[in-house]
Homo-oligomer: A and B are copies of this chain.
Amino acid sequence: MKKTLSLVAVLSFLCVAAFAQVKEDFVPSPNNQPGKQYPMVNSERCVRVQVSAPDAKRVQLDISAVKYDLVKNEDGLWTGESAPQDEGFHYYQIWVDGAAVPDPGSLYYYGASRWGSGIDVPAADQDFYALKNVPHGQMREMYYYSKSGEGMRHCFVYTPAEYDLNPTKRYPVLYLQHGGGENEYGWPQQGRTALIMDNLIAEGKAVPFIIVMENGSWTMPRNAAPQGQRPQAGQRPPQGQRPQGGGRMGLPSNWADAFKNVLINETIPMIDASFRTIADAEHRAMAGLSMGGMQTKAIAFPNPDVFGSIGIFSGGQISVEEAAAVPGFKEKNKLIFMSYGSREIESRQFPGNTPAQDTEALCKAGYNAHMYVSPLTAHEWQSWRRALYQFAQLLFK
């Protein structure tokens, strides 16, 4: 009985402590909408939101798959905070009486198959993706015609700061892909690709190269209709116009083939014609996160004559047996890079080798293989920002 009471006392103390523990040093998130005070983050990486909803019965913050009830004050403002989050970027949403809506205070990002709220929780290493007074490259938005899709495609191209100052110099190219439920806006926006590269190049840690970011889910646009039906920010063609089975997550059998056809036969020739590239495999790489990593394995790995370097971020592994089975790969590949967030490694079952075992076996067999584990992050953008930061320092050297 005494023991039971003690346990209750301890549990009660823990609950009270949990509430008391919310440290009141919240500041507006660095990437709120202009002038908006909420969402906020504190030094313990808790996210606090505030929404005006005077007539609502229940308002919740929904972040990292947990819903937190907000509390209403007399002015109809609902306020509340999450448990501590991992460092880096998280998608989230607000529930107002059963309606899942974006937070009117946050900026909006494409992920989880919708444009919605996202928040950047400060990280100890955030300096590598901070905006600094260094020479800045350009993030260029482009449209181009796709014969296979009989319509216009949309992509982003990062050119390093020196690109326009050296009108005869040619550059290597990295094709960099987003994950499932995301699109070509992922790396330019939440990925902070331009800032990561600008900082790396300014510090002499990476050679300048071009980065192409395409939409790996959208393999058959048919939208060049004269009715103003253009794909805007992240749009795909209407339901009826999409390829059968070409859904974002389903990965049907022809899925990799369709994007492979676009990438190799349309995107690469367009990029090589439009930019001063070094148009050979040695100076062409492909990488991607999650689904984009699977696409990299499906498209770039079997084609060492097209892509000389490969990066797979939280998207699978390449074993030494698989590498040996691809004709010419051993001779032609320059770099194999694999990465995960440490929380992925902890929580995932690896039926065969672990990524570390695969990497070690590849190195022993003479491949230039590298592995990176992002500390204390999961299947999220902070893992992939860090992966790009590491990968870019190894690439084209």
- B-contacting residues of A (Cβ < 8 Å)? 28, 30-35, 37, 51-59, 76, 94, 96-102, 104, 107-108, 113-116, 120, 122-123, 126-127, 129-133, 136, 138-145, 152, 157, 164, 167, 183, 188-189, 194-195, 223-236, 238-239, 274-275
Q: Chain B: which residue is nearest A190 at the CB level?
A: B232
Minimum CB–CB distance for A91 against chain B, Å: 13
A57 — which chain B residues lie within 8 A by C-beta?
55, 57, 97
24 contacts between A and B (CB under 8 A): A28-B238, A30-B227, A33-B114, A34-B235, A37-B239, A53-B96, A53-B99, A55-B57, A56-B56, A76-B98, A94-B101, A96-B96, A100-B104, A102-B108, A107-B233, A127-B228, A130-B227, A130-B228, A130-B229, A131-B231, A133-B224, A139-B141, A164-B274, A189-B232
Contact between A33 and B115, CB atoms less than 8 A apart: yes
- B107 to A114, Cβ gap below 8 A? no
Residues of B near A126 (CB, < 8 A) are 227-228
CB atoms of B127 and A189 under 8 A apart = no
**A142's contact among B108, B136, B239, by CB below 8 Å, is which?**
B136
**B141–A98 touching, CB < 8 Å:** no
The 10 closest A-B pairs by CB, nearest first: A131-B230, A53-B99, A55-B98, A126-B228, A34-B236, A56-B97, A54-B98, A55-B97, A101-B101, A136-B143
Shortest distance from the beta carbon of A52 to any chain B beta carbon, whole Å? 6
A139 to B157, CA, bound (A): 10
Knowing A34-B113, A129-B228, A136-B143, say if A104 contacts B102 (CB, 8 Å).
yes
Note all chain B residues with C-beta closer than 8 A to A195: 230
A104 CA to B102 CA, complexed, in Å:
7
A34 contacts which chain B residues (CB < 8 A)?
Answer: 113, 183, 234-236
B-chain residues with CB within 8 Å of residue A140 when the two chains form the complex = 138-141
CB-defined contacts of A56 to chain B, threshold 8 Å = 56, 96-99
CA A195 – CA B189 in complex, angstroms? 22
Nearest CB to that of A58 among chain B residues? B55
CB neighbours (8 Å) of A188 from chain B are 141
Which B-chain residue is minimally distant from A217 (CB atoms)?
B34
Across-interface contacts of A236 in B (CB, < 8 A): 34-35
Task: Report the separation of the CA atoms of residues A98 and B75 in the bound assembly, to the nearest whole angstrom.
Answer: 12
Residues of B within 8 Å of A230, CB to CB, are: 30-31, 130-131, 195
Question: Closest B-chain residue to A104, C-beta based?
Answer: B101
Q: How far is the CA of A57 from the CA of B53 in the complex (A)?
A: 12
Q: Are B142 and A138 in contact (CB under 8 A)?
A: yes
Give complex CA distance A19, B16 in Å: 56
Contact B131 A152 (CB under 8 A): yes
